[in-house]
Amino acid sequence: MLKLKCPVCGGELNVTEKMAECALGHRFDRAASGYLNLLLSQNKYTKDPGDSRDMVLSRRRFLDAGYYAPLRTALVSKVKEISPETLLDAGAGEGYYTSEFSFMAETIGVDLSKDAVLRASKRDKQGLYCVSSIFDLPVFDNSIDVITSIFAPYSSNEFYRVAKRVVAVIPGEKHLFGLKEMLYEKPYLNDEKGYDLPGFDLVSRDCVDFAINLNSNDEILDLFSMTPYFWRTPRDAVSKLGTLQKLVTPISFRILEYKKR
């Protein structure tokens, strides 16, 4: 079984139904839904770090409507092809992708947002979910066959320390171009620069391209609140979305697989 590392002393955590505890007596509660909160208070910059409850709910509604299902299918085949014994999803969110991986490998989902991890642990009883920073992963060196990193921040040092492979998802050039056209006068294409992972080689690159049709303002706003544009867009541009009832936009992902040298 995959061992977890105590975030205080680095010793091994003994995980029981109610809690996790290391030999030095550092204890972490396990919630009724099964997730572990391994976040130390000095690593919390705000009271509730990570995505807010509203953002988690918007993303969950949007994903559960199936709009990104082609990406999930492509990721499942990628993981199947690698057939790892252990997998860590760094930035697991509410477990939309992670819950599929946990059928194929011993899986840990890590996210900074307690709301997201709570929902993931309710959705998926197979995987283990932890509130933890992806810059201080609660696992031992070289213990993870594959790290998945799906629209999440990443740490090249931590990934190198723990993982043999990394499967990353980044937006393709035209990702959400239809939405960007609504928001900006001159929307830019995304640059498809992959992760900067010293010590790893890029071994495969898959494209997942399709289009989605949104037919209600609620869905359009759910999509918008999942994107980085939510934070960057000036308010008068956002107001253009206020009454919009229909949106067609290309969706474009690149799945990049890196292998440790």
**Contact residues: Zn ion, CB under 5 A:** 6, 8-9, 11, 22, 24, 26
Q: Minimum distance between the CB of residue 219 and Zn ion, rounded to whole angstroms?
A: 45
End-to-end CA distance of the chain: 25
Q: Minimum distance between the CB of residue 214 and Zn ion, rounded to whole angstroms?
A: 47
Q: Output 13 or 56, the one with its CB closest to Zn ion.
A: 13
Q: Output 2 or 8, the one with its CB closest to Zn ion.
A: 8
Q: Output 38 or 56, the one with its CB closest to Zn ion.
A: 38
In 35-194, the DSSP E strands lie at 36-37, 86-90, 106-111, 128-131, 144-150, 163-171
CB atoms within 10 A of CB 142: 12
Q: Output 3 or 246, the one with its CB closest to Zn ion.
A: 3
Distance CA 97, CA 148 (A): 9
Q: Minimum distance between the CB of residue 26 and Zn ion, rounded to whole angstroms?
A: 3
- Can you read off the two tokens belonging to residue 207? 């494209």
CA-based nearest residue to 172, from 185, 191, 159, 186:
191
Please tell me the chain's helix, strand, coil percentages from 3-state DSSP, rounded to the nearest 5: 30, 30, 40
Q: Output 12 or 192, the one with its CB closest to Zn ion.
A: 12
CA-based nearest residue to 30, from 62, 4, 56:
4
Distance CA 148, CA 142 (A): 15
Q: Minimum distance between the CB of residue 74 and Zn ion, rounded to whole angstroms?
A: 39
Q: Output 10 or 153, the one with its CB closest to Zn ion.
A: 10
Distance CA 197, CA 218 (A): 38
Q: Minimum distance between the CB of residue 14 and Zn ion, rounded to whole angstroms?
A: 10
Q: Is 71 within 8 Å of 62 (Cβ atoms)?
A: no
- Can you read off the two tokens belonging to residue 187? 């929307």
Q: Minimum distance between the CB of residue 162 and Zn ion, rounded to whole angstroms?
A: 18
CB atoms within 10 A of CB 242: 9
Q: Output 11 or 153, the one with its CB closest to Zn ion.
A: 11
Q: Minimum distance between the CB of residue 49 and Zn ion, rounded to whole angstroms?
A: 21
